[in-house]
């Protein structure tokens, strides 16, 4: 196992690729598979925002439960080291893995709901077809994965400041 000497490189690799892009692709494929039998369906603003809010809550919860032990393993193996985290949101996150997962899911949902609503309104995206909703959902789930991954990794590596 190679040692990561740059924590920012570790964050970028894990958040952007592992938790972001891969989750976006998976969610887009799942969405398309669920809706391919209804190709004429359209998604209005409310549908888009509610779908992505629910998805990001679940995604944040699940990712936190997956990323936390993997990050702890990387810390214990010496691949990365504990960091003094100055991010105020991370400081408020609970230590218990279950409440952390709920909190990460909730924060991810709030962020994605606001970003989704803003993008849909500013870019006049509504209504979306199944194909365009799948693409949009993939992009937004990538962002949700990055948010959830970042929060969980930062909590896992944080050292209490004195």
- pTM above the 0.95 mark? no
CB 68 within 8 A of CB 142: no
Phi, psi for residue 158 in degrees, rounded to 5? -75, 140
Look over the chain and give the mean of its residue pLDDT values, rounded to a whole number: 90
Helical H segments across the chain, by residue range: 7-12, 22-35, 45-76, 88-92, 97-122, 130-157
Mean pLDDT on 93-110: 95
In this predicted structure, the answer to whether residue 70 has a pLDDT above a threshold of 80 is yes
In this predicted structure, the answer to whether residue 14 has a pLDDT above a threshold of 50 is yes
């Amino acid at each position: 196992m190679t040692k990561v000497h740059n924590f920012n490189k570790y964050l970028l690799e894990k958040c952007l690729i592992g938790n972001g892009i891969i989750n976006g692709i998976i969610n887009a494929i799942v969405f398309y598979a669920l809706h391919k039998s209804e190709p004429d369906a359209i998604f209005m603003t409310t549908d888009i925002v509610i779908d992505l809010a629910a998805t990001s809550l679940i995604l944040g919860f699940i990712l936190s439960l997956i990323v936390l032990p993997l990050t702890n393993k990387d810390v214990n193996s010496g691949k990365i080291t504990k960091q003094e985290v100055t991010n105020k949101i991370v400081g408020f996150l609970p230590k218990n893995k279950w409440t952390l997962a709920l909190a990460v899911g909730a924060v991810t949902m709030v962020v994605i709901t606001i970003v989704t609503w803003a993008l849909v309104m500013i870019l006049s995206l509504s209504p979306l077809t199944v194909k365009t909703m799948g693409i949009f959902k993939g992009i937004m789930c990538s962002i949700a994965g990055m948010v959830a991954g970042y929060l969980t990794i930062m909590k896992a590596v944080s050292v209490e400041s004195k």
